Amino acid sequence: MVTRRTVIKAAGAGTLASGLAASAAPAASASRARDADVLVVVEKSSHAVSFYDVASGRRLRSVPLPGYPHEMVVDSRRRFAYVGHYGVRMAATVGEGGAAVLVVDLAERTLARTIDTRPFNRVHGMGIDRHDRLYALSEEKAVLLGFDAPATDTAPTRAVPTHGVKTHLFSLSRDGERAYVTGLLSHTVSLVRPHDAAAPPLLVTPGQLPESSCLSRDEKTLFVGARKSGSIVAVDARTMKVRDSRTVGGDPLRVYTVDDERLLATDIAANTLTVLSTDLRPIRSLQLDGTPAAVSFHPGKPLAYVSQLGNNRIAVVDLDRLTVVGGFATQLEPDSSVLLPAT
Q: Is the pLDDT of residue 298 over 60?
A: yes
Query: What's the chain look like in SS3?
Result: CCCCCCCCCCCCCCCHHHHHHHHCCCHHHHHHHCCCCEEEEEEHHHCEEEEEECCCCCEEEEEECCCCEEEEEECCCCCEEEEEECCCCCCCCCCCCCCEEEEEECCCCEEEEEEECCCCCCEEEEEECCCCCEEEEECCCCEEEEECCCCCCCCCCEEEECCCCCEEEEEECCCCCCEEEEECCCCEEEEECCCCCCCCCEEECCCCCEEEEEECCCCCEEEEEECCCCEEEEEECCCCCEEEEEECCCCEEEEEECCCCEEEEEECCCCEEEEEECCCCEEEEEECCCEEEEEEECCCCCEEEEEEECCCEEEEEECCCCEEEEEEECCCCEEEEEEECCC
Higher pLDDT, 197 or 23: 197
The Cα-based distances of 229 to 167, 202, 206, 245, 252 in angstroms read 18, 21, 9, 10, 9
Query: Average pLDDT over the chain, rounded to whole?
Result: 91
Contact 144, 181 (CB under 8 A): yes
State the average pLDDT over residues 67-93: 96
Q: Is the pLDDT of residue 147 over 50?
A: yes
Q: Is the pLDDT of residue 21 over 90?
A: no
- pLDDT of 35: 82
Higher pLDDT, 267 or 27: 267
**What are residue 313's DSSP bridge partners?**
308, 329
Percent of the chain with pLDDT over 70: 90
Q: Is the pLDDT of residue 23 over 80?
A: no
CB atoms within 10 A of CB 239: 11
Least Cα distance to 277 among 265, 261, 266 occurs for 261
With 0-12 / 13-18 / 19 or more C-beta atoms within 10 angstroms meaning exposed / middle / buried, residue 173 is middle
Higher pLDDT, 343 or 291: 291
Query: What's the first-to-final CA gap in the chain, in angstroms?
Result: 14
- pLDDT of 343: 81
Cα dihedral 74→297→329→123 (10° resolution): 40
Summarised one tens digit per residue, pLDDT across range 106-138 is 999 999 999 999 999 999 999 999 999 999 999
Percent of the chain with pLDDT over 90: 89
Contact 307, 314 (CB under 8 A): yes
pLDDT grade for 22, boundaries at 50, 70 and 90: very low
Cα dihedral 230→236→237→238 (10° resolution): -150
Q: Is the pLDDT of residue 5 over 70?
A: no
- pLDDT of 40: 98
Spatial separation of the C-alpha atoms in residues 251 and 267, rounded to whole Å: 5
Measured over the CA atoms of residue 94, residue 100, residue 105 and residue 111, the dihedral's sign is negative
Contact 147, 136 (CB under 8 A): yes
Q: Is the pLDDT of residue 27 over 50?
A: no
